[in-house]
Amino acid sequence: MTGDAVTDPVDRLLAEADIRQLVARYAVAADRRDMDTLASLFVTDVRVGRDATGRTALRQDFERQFRSIGVSILNVGTHQIDLLGPDDATGHVYCRAEIEDGDRWIHQAIRYDDTYRREDGTWLFVRRLHKLFYGAEAAVNPLHLEPAEWPRHHDGRGTLPFEDPTWRAFFPTADERGGPA
């Protein structure tokens, strides 16, 4: 599909810009552990697993998934969008992820296979499939570094995401660096 279903160039540009913002909001909300925002990026009748639907079920599933890891950094790159009609689209999103997995630091190359729908003028995810190219452990876990105390030092551990209120609410019993206890 080449995305020829929407022929007006302005409509096409606006839809593509809104869908790109949707993807960016997902990455930021995930990294901040903002579960409410994350769930709100999906259609109201989103299917969750085989037996559940709705944003409440999705929020609970996201919470379960994100409790199994520490810090994540999702860096969105290539994004192909195919507009199937004025309110329907699909896309492929490439993402480079860095993930704290216990004491390990993992690099991942991911492709999300997405289905989008516009509801009440807002583009939302219908479905998002996480496809993995690879995951590999990094030689150094950056969270084990001494504090950078930016701008004093350029290297070392920073303050994000630990200072974000949504992160602190997600991990209320955080350790001294702000991550999961």
pLDDT at 122: 98
Residue 153 counted as domain residue? no
**CATH number, domain at 35?**
3.10.450.50
Higher pLDDT, 119 or 145: 119
Neighbours of 63 (CB within 10 A): 14
pLDDT at 7: 81
Q: What is the mean pLDDT of residues 2-14?
A: 81
Residue 69 counted as domain residue? yes
Strand ranges (E), 120-162: 122-137
Residue 15 counted as domain residue? yes
Query: Which ranges constitute the DSSP H helices of the chain?
Result: 9-32, 35-40, 55-67, 165-170
pLDDT at 133 over 70: yes
Length of the chain: 181
pLDDT at 117 over 60: yes
pLDDT digits (tens, 9 = 90+) for 40-86: 999 999 999 999 999 999 999 999 999 999 999 999 999 999 999 99
pLDDT digits (tens, 9 = 90+) for 150-163: 888 888 888 889 88
Residue 159 counted as domain residue? no
Residue 3's alpha-carbon distances to 6, 12, 83, 130, in angstroms, are 7, 9, 4, 22
Residue 131 counted as domain residue? yes
Residue 47 counted as domain residue? yes
pLDDT at 1: 43
Q: C-alpha angle with apex 77: 71 to 80, nearest 5 degrees?
A: 130
pLDDT at 163: 87
The sign of the torsion formed by the CA atoms of 86, 25, 20, 68 equals negative
Closest CA to 91 of 15, 30, 11: 15
Domains: count for the chain = 1
pLDDT at 158: 87
pTM of the model: 0.90
What secondary structure letter does DSSP report for 157? B
Q: Which domain holds residue 57?
A: 9-139
Residue 44 counted as domain residue? yes
Residue 154 counted as domain residue? no
Break the chain down into helix, strand, coil percent, rounded to 5: 30, 35, 35
